[in-house]
């Protein structure tokens, strides 16, 4: 049961980071090409937001 809880918590972290990235992609698609300075500012904010999260490492399952 404890392993299921840990797995669920890891999945939630991955989903949260995926939502951050998806939001970033949506915003980038709405940016006008001539407004590069705004794009640079947004990218810096997005990188900061992602780096503030707990580090999520790939899950490596042991061979059974």
- Summarised one tens digit per residue, pLDDT across range 5-59 is 888 888 888 888 888 888 777 777 666 555 555 667 777 777 776 665 556 555 5
What pLDDT score was predicted for residue 61?
59
- More reliable by pLDDT, 3 or 44: 3
Q: What does DSSP assign to residue 53?
A: S
Q: Which residues touch 16 (CB under 8 Å, ≥6 apart)?
A: 53
Written as six digits, the tokens of 29 are 């698609």
Domain boundaries of the chain, sorted by first residue: 17-51
pLDDT at 54: 59
pTM for this model (two decimals): 0.43
Q: In this predicted model, which residue has the larger pLDDT, 60 or 15?
A: 15
User: How many residues in total does the chain contain?
Assistant: 64
Tell me how crowded residue 1 is: count the other CB atoms within 10 A of its CB.
5
Separation between Cα atoms, residue 10 and residue 56, nearest integer Å: 8
């Amino acid at each position: 049961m404890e392993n299921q809880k840990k797995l669920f918590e890891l999945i939630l972290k991955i989903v949260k980071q995926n939502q951050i990235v998806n939001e970033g992609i949506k915003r980038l698609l709405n940016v006008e090409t001539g407004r590069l300075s705004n794009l640079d500012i947004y990218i810096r904010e997005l990188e900061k937001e992602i780096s503030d999260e707990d580090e999520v490492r790939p899950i490596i399952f042991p061979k059974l």
